[in-house]
Amino acid sequence: MKRFSLRFMLMTVSIILTFSICQAQLSPTFYDQSCPNALSKIRSSIRTAIARERRMAPSLIRMHFHDCFVHTFVNVWGCDASILLEGTSTIESERDALPNFKSVRGFEVIDKAKSEVEKVCPGIVSCADIIAVAARDASEYVGGPKWAVKVGRRDSTTAFKALANSGEVPGFKDNLDQLSGLFSKKGLNTRDLVALSGAHTIGQSQCFLFRDRLYENSSDIDAGFASTRKRRCPTVGSDGNLAALDLVTPNSFDNNYYKNLMQKKGLLVTDQVLFGSGASTDGIVSEYSRNRSKFAADFATAMIKMGDIEPLTASTGEIRRICSFVN
């Protein structure tokens, strides 16, 4: 038993040291010498895409989240652009995993940004970094916070569809304990959970993801809100019909999401579990509903932490020439 405990402790220390080293190798100035125009090229490309379709902003933020969360501490890295890989004879694409299928969007936007960067710095900037920078630029464009993105990630040489299907990404019916446990596994705390959930202040969701919440006649949903939402989400069919996550300010990155939760107007189960019936997160939701600046600051901090989830660095992985295929 003692030998097992010692081995477990040593393995844990090794994981922590590896995680710390990976974090240390990321820096906002990583491309300052090798590709000084990289971030401005990405920014320009992302802003053009969102100007064309505002919904692309939340889609790019969500892509970064789904890319980082498919991760374990053993041979599966986070924030590695594995979500971008298309299926081949040897790769099962994460795009086809249940949490992502016909849901995660913006692949063509990342491809365009990559092509623009490749014109000035071929083979230098990773697709994983482009996803991370795109999420920041998307937030800023729609009025959300901005932050110094740490870069220096490398791209994975495979994808992890089975892992993406195994609960590494939050399910749309997860309760608060499940969400908290999953975030904790990624090194993120309860405040990070509530702050990152605030990305649902903008964007849309498909009917099948919130239908049950509308028709269960639960006490945690406002009756008028449910009635309004039912108009485009009947009990049967119309699974793909879209509804704004925030009815009041659907196209702005603000703190109205938290005000909605306090009025029992969270669209998804995973939204509303953050507030009500004495939830441990009630206080944070209430704080963010009153203080938009605090929410913005905590969101930026949480996005930086999420971007640190054990990336590939140094000589591991590769720098893909085309984001959807390995070299």
Which residues are tagged catalytic? 66
SS3 103: coil
For the chain, list the strands marked E by DSSP: 204-206, 242-244
Q: How many other C-beta atoms are found inside a 10 Å radius of the C-beta of residue 54?
A: 17
Measured CA to CA, the distance from residue 168 to residue 304 in angstroms comes to 19
Vertex 150, ends 147 and 152: CA angle to 5°? Answer: 155
Task: Please state the φ and ψ torsions of residue 124, each to the nearest 5 degrees.
Answer: -110, -45
Distance of alpha carbon 268 from alpha carbon 49, whole angstroms: 27
Q: Which residues contact 90 (CB under 8 A, 6 or more apart)?
A: 158
Strand partners, 243: 205
Pair 94, 100: CB distance under 8 Å: yes
